[in-house]
Structure 1
């Protein structure tokens, strides 16, 4: 451009014409003109930015959405996350890809989302009970802040765990299991693959006076071979995974961890069967984005997930997996997390959980 201007000036014999153009920017009233120009440019920029800001949520989503779940494929939590991801894809009109990031009992997945761009295209579907509350007391340090590093979107459902033994075990009630475990003493064993499973077992032990030794697994399903061989005495298993195994004659259910009877489960609560009134462990599932996500996108996802929770298909899904709907928006989840942290602080104390 500079070369063209120079040659243009040389082509004209009236050099003052070129100089005149130059002087038009330095003559009287220049500062006033510059100020007006700057104000005009600022106004245009403001309009463009406002348009872009309002257009972004309107066009969301413009590409595939990634849903992160901190559990392995095929696990009970994976089944939950994939159900909601599939329904989200239907409402959003874009593919929703589920990415499994197992590790640290759901916290590896939560950490991946906390560090993702806050653009609405990376979503965490998680047991908030585990990743944002219980793990504060299961681990000495988490790689994220469960409050500051996330933008809450919605609550989805509550699940529960079932106290199970192998189907051919001689114990047909919590009372019979308790008596046998007391007799075995420190030789008794149980498996766990999540914070609620561990807390359930430790609360049971602490309140009844058992000495059973816990054996950690990445998932409850990973423990089943040893369970079926009789190398493990009992465990608390997610109802999503445990129900089909009970119905298929592989495991025997003795009680549920929820504080009240679960329709269709046909099992007593641990509060009733073990005589532990405060026994109420029912993990809550929710949706979160990285902190700083645009409020309009949070609102859109909040609306979509609220619609999903109200679907007939969701009620049928929860009936099959023995979950309970737990509808709520962004504010509900934001209020819930600190309360759940406080609850798990007390549960961890009662269960004498030592951070790893």
Structure 2
């Protein structure tokens, strides 16, 4: 009896040791997880950009990555993942580890649009991302060359009606394609679309009058408009841009029901812990509210459009529905 008691009280059994070790490991893992969240970011954060270095999107992503650092509290770098109309970057970000160290700075409107523009974009926007903030929006433009006789959109519409299928317009991006197609559908015009690979490729044709107008984004068009080398007649948004209050909307100019805009913000893959999402969203919104940022956005050719995660997520989901309708109106065949 005494011998048995002595054995039982002599020290921990193998089972006790294993159990204690497991408990210590679990506690350690839990502590590490909590610590990592508290210290976020503990290493560099990468921002994914869908377009090449030097492009407008790249300039945008690098500006926000650089200026977000003081608010996020760590190093932020930009990686360009170019291809498939943005889908390469979108899919890369969607499949990234949901730990807050991969952020997509892109247009959630484009993430939504690609759901209808591609037969298989490789992701489901309703399940792949949490949109944490929006910072600006960009309507597309109806732009003519400096030598064009048209001073207003109504002037241009009269010419387009007279020319029938001899009238033509240029596009470089899906949002501009849809904005022009809506105008064509609403006014029952017969004008013909001429797609260009880049906006720069279209300039000579616009200046020479080979095409009647271009559907440019304002980042490209506004500098030319300001220096008198082009003329922006109207915008595809429901309201005028605060940064260009002299330019009317298409709605004001005889094309009712057009409200097609791109908007830019930040998204992370689903599954990022809530405290980290809140930290990223707060940093982005704080930086977007700075007067210097708003001034830069205006010079960049966009309107500040600052909304938080709840509104931004709802807006992307609405865009998915809207783009399903847009591609039908524009007779756009989804890409394979």
Structure 1 position 259 matched with structure 2 position 238? yes
Cross-structure match for 1:241: 220
Alpha-carbon distance change, 201 to 116 in structure 1, aligned in 2, over 3 angstroms: same
Cross-structure match for 1:186: 165
Structure 1 position 269 matched with structure 2 position 249? yes
Cross-structure match for 2:76: 96
Cross-structure match for 1:128: 108
Computed over aligned residues only, the root mean square deviation of the Cα atoms, in angstroms, reads 2.6
* SS of alignment partner, residue 119 of structure 2: coil
How does 1:1-356 map onto structure 2 within 5 Å?
33-131=13-111, 133-265=112-244, 266-273=246-253, 275-356=254-335
C-alpha distance in 2 between matches for 1:200 and 1:259: 12
Alpha-carbon distance change, 111 to 312 in structure 1, aligned in 2, over 3 angstroms: same
After superposition, give the CA deviation of every residue in 1:288-339 in whole Å (9 maximum; x if it has no partner).
1223333332221111011112111122123323433333333333222211
C-alpha distance in 1 between matches for 2:214 and 2:271: 40
Cross-structure match for 2:4: none
C-alpha distance in 1 between matches for 2:9 and 2:155: 97
* SS of alignment partner, residue 159 of structure 1: strand
Q: CA deviation at 1:235?
A: 1.6
Asked whether the equivalents of residues 115 and 124 of structure 2 are also in contact (C-alpha less than 8 Å), the reply is no
Q: CA deviation at 1:84?
A: 1.5
C-alpha distance in 2 between matches for 1:96 and 1:193: 31
C-alpha distance in 1 between matches for 2:159 and 2:184: 13
Asked whether the equivalents of residues 75 and 241 of structure 1 are also in contact (C-alpha less than 8 Å), the reply is no
Q: CA deviation at 1:93?
A: 4.5
* Structure 1 spans left out of the alignment, 5+ residues: 1-26
Q: CA deviation at 1:239?
A: 1.3
Asked whether the equivalents of residues 137 and 353 of structure 1 are also in contact (C-alpha less than 8 Å), the reply is no
Q: CA deviation at 1:232?
A: 2.8
Larger deviation: 240-249 or 143-152? 143-152
Alpha-carbon distance change, 96 to 222 in structure 1, aligned in 2, over 3 angstroms: farther
C-alpha distance in 1 between matches for 2:208 and 2:138: 28
* SS of alignment partner, residue 84 of structure 2: coil
Q: CA deviation at 1:29?
A: 9.0
Q: Which has the larger radius of gyration?
A: 1
* SS of alignment partner, residue 261 of structure 2: coil
* SS of alignment partner, residue 241 of structure 1: helix
Q: CA deviation at 1:238?
A: 1.4
Alpha-carbon distance change, 150 to 71 in structure 1, aligned in 2, over 3 angstroms: same
C-alpha distance in 2 between matches for 1:174 and 1:263: 20
* Structure 2 spans left out of the alignment, 5+ residues: 1-6
* SS of alignment partner, residue 78 of structure 2: strand
C-alpha distance in 2 between matches for 1:169 and 1:260: 25
Cross-structure match for 1:15: none
C-alpha distance in 2 between matches for 1:28 and 1:137: 71
After superposition, give the CA deviation of every residue in 1:225-284 in whole Å (9 maximum; x if it has no partner).
4333433321221112211111122211100111012234211110111x2321111212
Asked whether the equivalents of residues 104 and 268 of structure 2 are also in contact (C-alpha less than 8 Å), the reply is yes
Asked whether the equivalents of residues 105 and 130 of structure 1 are also in contact (C-alpha less than 8 Å), the reply is no
C-alpha distance in 2 between matches for 1:204 and 1:46: 62
C-alpha distance in 2 between matches for 1:216 and 1:155: 29
